[in-house]
């Protein structure tokens, strides 16, 4: 199955985290907001690979 | 003779009773006035706290629209903190909620992330933080 990647800004991540805080838990927000709040930085080698290609 | 003896006693009792009633009435007035002043003071303090809360809430919303990340983050911190206050109304809590939800879904270019993105299950999404390297890919 194809994995779709969405890129979000730090502001989006922080807003999602604060929304979870405001509502009182991850179970009170949509799955997409939960994913945004837990977004990770891409691995360094992934970026290098891409630039090389 | 008996009447002569009772007259001053009755006068004394009447005077004493009148004075006591006057004292009670004056005391009741004083207590009512003090309670009224206390109520006014409490009301003024409540209004003052509410006005100060409103100023901070507005400032937090302004900060969220700042160009600096640090200031935006502090704005979000204050917004969430103020929304938990007993001074916040349901409408203001909802406003804070909407601002943060929109902030989470709004991309830098003004587009809003669809929920869920066109025909894709949220479980199939990988969400990554956009950094300088990723911007080069676009």
Residues of chain A in contact with residue B128, where contact means CB-CB under 8 angstroms, are: 5-8, 39-42
Contact between A12 and B107 using a beta-carbon 8 Å cutoff: yes
The whole-model pTM stands at 0.71
- A5 versus A36: the higher-pLDDT residue is A36
Flag whether residue A1 sits within 8 Å of chain B, measured between CB atoms. yes
- The encoded tokens of residue B19 equal 């004075």
Residue whose C-alpha is closest to residue B96's, from B69, B127, B63: B63
Q: Where does residue A22 fall: left (phi above 0), alpha (psi -120 to 50 degrees), or beta otherwise?
A: alpha
pLDDT single digits (tens) A33-49:
999 999 988 765 454 44
- A27 versus B114: the higher-pLDDT residue is A27
Distance, in Å, from the CA atom of A5 to the CA atom of A40, rounded to the nearest integer, reads: 11
Flag whether residue A53 sits within 8 Å of chain B, measured between CB atoms. no
- The encoded tokens of residue B77 equal 């911190």
Residue A52 above 70 pLDDT?
no
- A24 versus B116: the higher-pLDDT residue is A24
Distance, in Å, from the CA atom of B47 to the CA atom of B53, rounded to the nearest integer, reads: 10
Flag whether residue B133 sits within 8 Å of chain A, measured between CB atoms. yes
pLDDT by 10s per residue, chain B, length 138:
556 788 888 888 999 999 999 999 999 999 999 999 999 999 999 999 999 999 999 999 999 999 999 999 999 999 999 999 999 999 999 999 999 999 999 887 778 876 666 677 878 888 889 875 544 443
Q: Name the pLDDT band for A50 (thresholds 50, 70, 90).
A: very low
* pLDDT for the residue numbered B134: 43
- The encoded tokens of residue A8 equal 């979000």
Residues of chain B in contact with residue A39, where contact means CB-CB under 8 angstroms, are: 127-129
Flag whether residue A20 sits within 8 Å of chain B, measured between CB atoms. no
Determine the length of chain B.
Answer: 138
Q: What is the ipTM of this complex?
A: 0.79
State which residue of chain A sits closest to B135, comparing Cα positions: A7
Flag whether residue A43 sits within 8 Å of chain B, measured between CB atoms. no
What is the signed CA dihedral for B116, B121, B122, B128, rounded to 10 degrees?
Answer: -100
């Amino acid at each position: 199955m194809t994995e779709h990647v969405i890129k979000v800004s730090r502001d989006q991540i922080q807003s999602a985290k604060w929304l979870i805080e405001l509502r009182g838990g991850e179970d009170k927000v949509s799955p997409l907001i939960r994913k945004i709040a837990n977004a990770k930085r891409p691995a360094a080698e992934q970026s290098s690979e891409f630039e090389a290609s | 003779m008996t009447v002569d003896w009772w007259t001053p006693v009755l006068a004394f009792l009447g005077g004493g009773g009148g004075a006591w009633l006057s004292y009670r009435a004056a005391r009741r007035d004083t207590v009512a006035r003090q309670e009224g002043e206390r109520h006014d003071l409490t009301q003024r303090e409540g209004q003052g706290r509410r006005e100060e809360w409103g100023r901070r809430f507005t400032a937090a919303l302004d900060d969220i629209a700042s160009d600096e990340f640090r200031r935006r983050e502090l704005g979000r911190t204050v917004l969430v903190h103020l929304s938990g206050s007993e001074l916040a109304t349901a409408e203001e809590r909802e406003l804070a909620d909407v601002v943060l939800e929109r902030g989470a879904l709004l991309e830098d270019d003004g587009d809003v992330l669809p929920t869920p993105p066109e025909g894709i299950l949220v479980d199939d999404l990988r969400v990554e933080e956009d950094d300088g390297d990723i911007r080069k890919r676009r």
